[in-house]
Each structure stands twice: as structure tokens, then as C-alpha cells.
Amino acid sequence: MREGPNSPVQVQHPLEVLEDIEEEASRNTEGLLYAAPAPWAQLLAQYVDSLNELVAQGNEFNRPAVIHTLDEGHAGGCG
């Protein structure tokens, strides 16, 4: 429970603390993306071209993605 606004001790609500952490992490991530040497415009163009190619294939692209579970491929060792 929060004290009144004139109280000398005021505790921030836990959800406000989490929101502050999330906002700081978002700002940090955004800063890292801007500072990265990756050619974002070129990567985005390649991604869009790939999506367009998949759309152009139409019904030819109806294979589901290969999914591997932990049981397949002997995950965790053989014995």
C-alpha cells in the first residue's frame, strides 16, 4: 500500500518497477541496433525479396518446415 504524497517514504509499485526495467531494456536494444554496423536497409530488402519469392511460388510452397524434437537425432546422448 502506498503512503500519501507528502509521506517521507514512498515505495514504487512493483508493476511500475517492471515497466521501468522494460523501457530501459528497450532503449538499450534500440541503441545497439543503431550502433550495429549491419546494413539494415539491405537486409530488409533481401527479406522482402525472399517473402515475395515465396508468395510467387503459390501452391508450390506448401511443404511444412522440418521440425526436430528432442527424441529425434539422439538429443541427450545415446545410452
DSSP 8-58: S--PPPHHHHHHHHHHHHHHHHHHHHHHS---HHHHHHHHHHHHHHHHHHG
Q: How confident is the model at residue 49 (pLDDT cuts 50, 70, 90)?
A: very high
pLDDT digits over 25-47, tens only? 999 998 888 888 888 889 999 99
**Mean pLDDT of all residues in the chain?**
79
Predicted confidence band of residue 17 (pLDDT cuts 50, 70, 90): very high
Cell reading at 71: 527424441
pTM: 0.39
